[in-house]
Structure 1
Amino acid sequence: MYRYFSIRTLYIVKRRKLLKAGLSASGLLLAGGTTGFYLGRVEDRSILSLDVLSGKLQQLKGETLNSSGDWNPVKVFLHCAKSIEFSMIGFPVHRSSAFKNVVGTSAFSTFASLGKMHHALDEPIPGEDSLRLTDSKVTSTAAAINILLDRINAFTSYQGELKEHFAFGKLSKDEYELAHVMHVYNHLAEIVT
């Protein structure tokens, strides 16, 4: 009887966890659909390349830039550069595998289909602030943009294995390019001339 009880209890516990996970995933997909509606869709997908993004960043170097958000333009550009660098050297902190496999892949899929990303623009990459960043002494916006452009060029010519994204999980080079472009464009929404 004890053995039957423990197997039955285990079955019930696993069933409840599965149901909760299913409900959470359903809610996420519904929220993803709502988020998709909120974000809209990029009509001209030709802008979703690192080449086009690099051209836009070159144009911004000659402008006086401000930020409508919590981070100044220097911090924004350095944060975006660090994200690109982490895709090649590894992110310092990762979400759980369960998070990446359910939430992360669903979020990336939604963003990729829309051609847009939406995330908290004042939230550092997990572990980013705990690192001693060599770029932290940069104070000029043009210098920060140059660092971002340098990381974009390094990524474009990178031939090694890309590291797993801290939230989205394993991405191909094309998927990473799209993620980087959408990430920078999301941050550029707060940069004003």
Structure 2
Amino acid sequence: MNAIPLTSGVLPRRRVLVAGLASLATGGLAGCAPGRIERFATWAEARNAVFALAQPGSRWRSNGHWSLSQALQHLAQSVEGSLAGYPRLKPAWFTHTVGAAAHAVFEARGRMTHPLDEPLPGAAPLDAALPPDAAALRLLRAMDAFEAHDGTLAPHFAYGVLDKPAYARAHQMHLAAHWQQFEETRLA
């Protein structure tokens, strides 16, 4: 992290707070996801990747704690939450400090890290029996609804109020973060 410059011998409180929170966001607070992180440059690119998982005969699986279906359901819940509202929001003090700092760090890096088995606060349980293609279709429907939406979006549960371009980037980074745990199975 870059050093914070001194201003007349005194560190501005806001800069110290944001720098400290950003440090937390890149460290233990946000979690550290192992492996290669694929980046989705556009919404269309992310959607096409999800579409590929929904195809009959797709041989993808998750090497993480959640199954492929559960990870896709989690991603769908996140996109749906930006439209209809998340079940539970972090307190305002969190979204204005830690959440805002984490979002700023993720935006600057162009990628997000977080625990890949952490459910959205208050979200419905993930259905372990739902087939992956059905979960991928749910995510595609949510992505299509987000893309078509032209009204106000619900506040993000951790980042607070985001405009549509910032939300789209956050969803793309969220998808990419989970994508690292997906792998194609080989035929025997």
TM-score normalised to the size of structure 2? 0.77
Describe the SS at the equivalent of 2:114: coil
Corresponding residue number in structure 2 for 1:56:
49
Corresponding residue number in structure 2 for 1:104:
99
Structure 1: gaps (5+ residues): 1-18
Higher helix fraction (1 or 2) = 1
CA distance in 1, matches of 2:138, 2:129: 9
- Map residues 83-94 of structure 1 onto 2, 5 A cutoff: 83-94=78-89
Residue 59 of structure 1 deviates from its aligned partner by 2.3
Alignment of 1:156 onto 2:147: yes
Structure 2: gaps (5+ residues): 1-12
Contact 1:48–1:115 (CA under 8 A) maintained in structure 2: no
Residue 125 (structure 1) aligned to one of 120, 135, 153 = 120
Contact 2:69–2:128 (CA under 8 A) maintained in structure 1: no
Residue 22 of structure 1 deviates from its aligned partner by 8.0
Alignment of 1:142 onto 2:143: no
CA distance in 1, matches of 2:105, 2:83: 24
Aligned length: 165
Residue 140 of structure 1 deviates from its aligned partner by 1.5
The structure-2 alpha-carbon separation of the partners of 1:94 and 1:52, relative to structure 1 and needing over 3 Å to count, comes to: same
Q: Sequence identity of aligned pairs in percent?
A: 30
Residue 183 (structure 1) aligned to one of 147, 166, 174 = 174
Contact 1:138–1:144 (CA under 8 A) maintained in structure 2: no
TM-score normalised to the size of structure 1? 0.75
